[in-house]
Structure 1
Amino acid sequence: MNITAFIGSSREHSNSEMLADHVLNGIPHQNLFLKDLNIQPIHDLRHSKEGFQFVDDDYDQIIQALLTSDIVIFTTPIYWYSMSSIMKTMVDRLSHAIRDERFPQLKEKLQTTEAIILAVGGDEPKIKGLPMIQQFQYIFDFLKMPFLSYIIGEANKPGEITKDEQALTQATLLNNQLKARINV
């Protein structure tokens, strides 16, 4: 089973990345750090005569990860009550990717790729982060992706996620579930 974690924080060793590390401890996976990729914002040409045009950036790495993963984990800090801007840019570009003639199998593949959300915020995130989870649910519904699970952690300063016992317990449970599925 192939698992990819899209790490959407702009901070090194962020709380959201630490939560992903906890979920994926002992499980083979790959991390894609969105902050290290050159992903251009979407130029929406869906309804124009010429349609979407090729964009020379690193987004093909995202597409390749989506095409080769059985589970994808969207890992993001909660910024202004939503996902990080680099995560949102990645998601926005899916409009282009599912129409990209170079990857005709992508839309169908996404229908069998399970999604997990890991989010960490500092202002009552377990309540105020729920609209973001709903936003992801709508995205997954649109793409017909199975939505496996989500965890919202509470932390602000670097390393504070280690104090959120509820999120860490949920992460351990999810880790055990994933290990059982892949026989690790």
Structure 2
Amino acid sequence: MKITIFVGSSRKGGNSEKLADFVVHDIEHEKMYVKDLHIRPIEDLRHAENGFQTIDDDYDQFVEALAKSDVVIFATPIYWYSMSGLMKNLIDRLSQAIRDKRYPNLKEHLKTLRTIVVVVGGDEPRIKGLPLIQQFQYTLEFLNMPFSSYIIGVANQPGDILKDSSALSQAAWLNQKLKSGFFTEER
């Protein structure tokens, strides 16, 4: 089972990353820091005569990581009641990736991926973060990607996620499910 975490925080070691780390504790995985990738914003050319064009940036690294994964974890802080801009830019470019002739099997592969979303915020995130979870749910539904689970953590300052026993308990439960192969079984 190949697990990849996409960290959408603007700083390494943030609370959303730490919570995702608990989900994959003692499980082999890869981590990709979106902030370290140069990803240009999407230019919507779906209806243009020649459609989307190849862009010279690092987005292919994300697509290739998706293509090699069985389980993906999107970890992002809650910024202004949504995902980080870094993560949103990554998600927006999927419109282009699913039409890219260089990845003819991507749409089919996305249907097999198991997806976990890990978000952390400080302003009543278990209520105010729900629209963000729905945003992921609708996006993944559009892409026919299975939305396996999510965790909403509470934290303001660096390291505060370690005080959120509920989020840590959910992370431990997901960790056991991943170790048991639950998320890679056919449904």
Normalised by the length of structure 2, the TM-score is 0.96
Give the structure 2 partner of residue 105 of structure 1.
105
Paired residue secondary structure (1:20): helix
1:57-106 superposed Cα distances (whole Å, 9 cap, x missing partner): 11011111111100000000000000000000000000000000000100
How far apart in 2 are the matches of 1:148 and 1:53? 32
User: What aligned pairs does 1:58-97 form with structure 2 within 5 A after superposition?
Assistant: 58-97=58-97
How many aligned residue pairs are there?
Answer: 182
1:98-134 superposed Cα distances (whole Å, 9 cap, x missing partner): 0000001001100000110000000000000000100
Letter in 2 for 1:8: G
User: What aligned pairs does 1:3-42 form with structure 2 within 5 A after superposition?
Assistant: 3-42=3-42
Offset, 1:12: 1.9
How far apart in 1 are the matches of 2:10 and 2:44? 25
Structure 2 gap ranges (5+): 183-187
How far apart in 2 are the matches of 1:158 and 1:12? 11
Give the structure 1 partner of residue 185 of structure 2.
none
User: What aligned pairs does 1:28-177 form with structure 2 within 5 A after superposition?
Assistant: 28-177=28-177
Offset, 1:49: 0.7
Normalised by the length of structure 1, the TM-score is 0.98
Identity, % of aligned positions: 62
How far apart in 2 are the matches of 1:127 and 1:11? 24
Letter in 1 for 2:49: K
Paired residue secondary structure (1:104): coil
Letter in 1 for 2:70: D
1:19-67 superposed Cα distances (whole Å, 9 cap, x missing partner): 0111111000000000000011001100011210110011011111111
Structure 1: 4+ residue segments shifted above 2 A: none
How far apart in 2 are the matches of 1:153 and 1:94? 26
How far apart in 1 are the matches of 2:92 and 2:12? 24
Structure 1 gap ranges (5+): none
